[in-house]
Amino acid sequence: DALRGEGGALSGRHVVVTAGPTHEPLDPVRYVANRSSGKQGYAIARACRQLGARVTLVAGPTALPDPRGIETVHVETARQMLAASEAALPADAFVACAAVADYRPAYETEHKVKKERGGLTAIDLTENPDVLASIARHASRRPALVIGFAAETDDVLGHAEAKRARKGCDWIVANDVSPGTGTMGGDRNAVTLITGEGDEAWEDLPKSEVSRRLAERIAGALGPAPG
């Protein structure tokens, strides 16, 4: 990784990025999860690092190696992701790229659920905390810039703009994940950056380029670090 480091547009800044899925255990061998490769979140963490930021990456289970020069905190569940994100504050910017499981099994057993004992025909679920909304509404340490992602199908921009308002974040990156776009798990992405001051469409770019642009937009919004 070529590091522009000191003197980069994000030097002196701390950026926290969530990435990957969460795994919500049901018993020692089973979990409920979202689909996510972690590629986009890892790429954003690297792009912010390349502009000189100190980066904390809060990562759910992925197949990706820890990026060099970035503090990577590994978590499994949404509740752990929230705790690790809060523990990483203060930060100048928070980027929620993780595909957090909205629900977790209401009961986790220490013993494997066995088929012959009636097994598993239904799972009671309970809602997980919203990491992005919690950080965006943090009472004492809200980062200056809080950015969410919205992976949508159908009325992508409408859903994304509603999500920006509902979660209290500043920007949202809307992402069309309809089957056939190839964005899920792939190396390319097509997104629209919604800032509340106009939308910017970034069409069919490598995830690394989406990340570079986003890091530059973050640097521009934060301005030079004081001191």
Residues belonging to the active site: 34
Tell me the per-residue interface mask from 145 to 184 with ligand CTP, x by CB under 6 A, - otherwise: ---xxxx-----------x---------------------
Q: Is residue 100 within 8 Å of 128, Cβ to Cβ? A: yes
DSSP class of residue 227 equals -
Rg (CA), the chain: 18
Minimum gap (Å) between residue 141 Cβ and ligand CTP: 16
Question: How many residues lie near ligand CTP (CB under 6 A)?
Answer: 15
Question: CB of 42 within 8 A of CB of 57?
Answer: yes
Is 115 assigned to a binding site?
no
Beta-ladder partners of 27:
30
Q: Is 15 annotated as a binding residue?
A: no
Q: How far apart are the first and last CA of the chain?
A: 27
Cβ–Cβ < 8 Å for 196, 172: no
CA 196 from centroid of its chain's CA atoms: 20
* 39 labeled part of a ligand binding site: no
Binding region for Ca ion (CB under 5 A) out of 49-57, 102-110, 117-125, 176-184 = 102-110
Closer by beta carbon to Ca ion, 58 or else 222: 58
User: If binding is defined by CB under 5 A, does position 152 make contact with Ca ion?
Assistant: no
Question: Which residues lie near ligand CTP (CB under 6 A)?
Answer: 18, 78, 96, 98, 100, 102, 128, 130-132, 148-151, 163
Annotated binding residues, written as ranges, equal 102, 112, 129-132, 149, 163, 167
